[in-house]
């Protein structure tokens, strides 16, 4: 990825400290990233529709609509076959996350509490491609 690129990352969590943690960790990994925050699923879907998002971190337990439904709605708005990577965030074990349907509309999973190494692996894995550059 070119240093002149500014990936747009959408972080969705109803706990403000978790949003701050995600943002700070992303800034350490990729200082030029633009991080949008959302506290619920409805707002997240709206922000996705209004911005060109490159990567999404999505908490599973949210007010209004849960993370599984939020991911489903985001997928419904994707166009031209472009699939924005969605990373599920939860205290669940990965097997429980998959059993509850997380693997259908999500591309990967991070268990809370989020660790720097895990987040860095995800960011590097999914931001290696084209950046939309228009948050």
Distance CA(57)–CA(66), nearest Å, equals 13
Report, at the CATH architecture level, how domain 8-126 is classified. Answer: 3-Layer(aba) Sandwich (3.40)
pLDDT tens-digit readout, 39-94 = 999 999 999 999 999 999 999 999 989 999 999 999 999 988 889 999 999 887 76
What pLDDT is attached to residue 2? Answer: 46
Entry pTM: 0.91
What pLDDT is attached to residue 6? Answer: 87
């Amino acid at each position: 990825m070119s240093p002149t690129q500014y990936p747009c990352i959408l972080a969705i969590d109803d706990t403000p400290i978790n949003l701050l943690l995600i943002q700070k960790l992303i800034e350490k990994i990729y200082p030029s990233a633009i991080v949008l925050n959302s506290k619920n699923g409805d707002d997240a879907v709206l922000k996705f529709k209004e911005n060109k998002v490159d990567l999404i971190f999505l908490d599973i337990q949210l007010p209004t609509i849960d993370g599984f439904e939020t991911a489903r709605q985001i997928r419904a708005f994707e166009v031209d076959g472009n699939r924005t990577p969605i990373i599920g965030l939860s205290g669940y074990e990965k097997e429980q996350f998959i059993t509850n349907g997380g693997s259908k509309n999500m591309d990967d999973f991070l268990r809370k509490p989020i660790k720097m190494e895990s987040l860095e692996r995800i960011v590097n894995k999914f931001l290696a491609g084209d950046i939309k550059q228009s948050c």
